[in-house]
């Protein structure tokens, strides 16, 4: 079992729909990152959070430390949101390192 699991692996939706991507982790973390990767492009950090909720534009990230779970929400989705979304946890048990989920490929159709 991976230390960081994302679901779904692939998600296709229509423009305007509310999107939720989930991330669960199995070990202790100090922070969780949500990253965005466009096809053929680099990775951009969207959020880093260790508790509660953060919002930036149409993007919202939440984390529940007790349940070891985080979600990324996109409101009023748009085709330009199409990308791979990756959650990554900064693991604090043993060697400190960033452990990535496998990514969720999001496609928003017009």
Partner 1 sequence: GAGVSQTPSNKVTEKGKYVELRCDPISGHTALYWYRQSLGQGPEFLIYFQGTGAADDSGLPNDRFFAVRPEGSVSTLKIQRTERGDSAVYLCASSLGSGGYTQYFGPGTRLTVL
Q: How far apart are CA 46 and CA 52, in angstroms?
A: 15
Among 17, 43, 73, 82, binds partner 1 (CB under 8 A): 43
d(CA 99, CA 110): 33
CA–CA dist 2, 55 (Å, integer): 27
36: closest CA among 91, 84, 69? 84
64 binds partner 1 (CB under 8 A): no
Assess 103 for contact with partner 1 (CB under 8 A).
yes
The stretch near partner 1 (CB under 8 A) out of 55-63, 65-73, 75-83, 95-103 is 95-103
**Contact region with partner 1 (CB under 8 A), list: 11-19, 29-37, 56-64, 67-75:** 29-37
Assess 100 for contact with partner 1 (CB under 8 A).
Answer: yes
From residue 63, alpha-carbon distances to 16, 42, 107 in Å are: 24, 25, 24
- Report the residue number, 34 or 74, with the smaller CB distance to partner 1: 34
How far apart are the C-alpha atoms of 100 and 43, rounded to whole Å? 12
Provide, rounded to whole angstroms, the least separation between the CB of residue 56 and partner 1: 12
Contact residues for partner 1, defined by CB under 8 A: 30-31, 33, 35, 41-45, 48, 50, 86, 88, 90, 95-103
């Amino acid at each position: 079992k991976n230390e960081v699991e994302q679901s779904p692996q692939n998600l296709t939706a229509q423009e305007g729909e509310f999107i939720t991507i989930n991330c669960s982790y199995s070990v202790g973390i100090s922070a969780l990152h949500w990253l965005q990767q466009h096809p053929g492009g680099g990775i951009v950090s969207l959020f880093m959070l260790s508790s509660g909720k953060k919002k930036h534009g149409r993007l919202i990230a939440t984390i529940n430390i007790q349940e070891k779970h985080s979600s990324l929400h996109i409101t009023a989705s748009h085709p330009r949101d199409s990308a791979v979304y990756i959650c990554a946890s900064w693991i604090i048990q043993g060697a400190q390192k960033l452990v990535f989920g496998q990514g969720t490929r999001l496609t928003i159709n017009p």
